[in-house]
Amino acid sequence: MVWINPKYERQEYVELRWNAPKGEKILLEFHPLKISDTPDWNPVWEEWHCYRHPLRIYQQDYERFVDYFNKIYPIMDAFNGTVEQAFDVCFDNWIGKSDWVKIIFEIEQDLNCVLDGEKAFLMDFLEWIKEALKHTSIIVVEGNL
């Protein structure tokens, strides 16, 4: 089961590292949103903190992805439809499946141009994103900078 009840179970974070030191505290967390078909649904925190294996990437490594994210901006917030001008490493970014497909495309274009260690890092990220998108249409990316 990919979803947990956060009142009774703890999430098991997947930590993706390439060059980030073990003591790094600044990070991005990737939380798939548990979608509801309830009319006028307004998700609560628990609904994007209930995926069993959310992804965590630390600053030195996530900086590699910010350029990819910014290539697709401005975007429409995947939940409320407001225009977001740039990716925000300090706050929530509600990124929809169609925008993730664009990010995936951009990363895949670079895979043949990077060294093996970085390629493995990027491929692990792509694998996690693609798996998460099997269960949701929105991934909330939260930063703590």
Q: Which CATH number is 98's domain given? A: 3.40.1760
Q: Render pLDDT for 16-72 as a digit per residue (tens, 0 to 9).
A: 999 999 999 999 999 999 998 888 889 999 999 999 999 999 999 999 999 999 999
User: Does 3 reside within a domain?
Assistant: no
Query: Any alpha helices (H) in 73-115, and if so which ranges?
Result: 97-110
Using an 8 Å Cβ cutoff, are 141 and 93 in contact?
yes
User: Does 4 reside within a domain?
Assistant: no
User: Does 6 reside within a domain?
Assistant: no
User: Does 7 reside within a domain?
Assistant: no
User: Does 38 reside within a domain?
Assistant: yes
Domain around 75? 14-143
User: Does 131 reside within a domain?
Assistant: yes
Per-residue pLDDT band at 8 (split at 50, 70, 90):
confident
Query: How many domains in the chain?
Result: 1
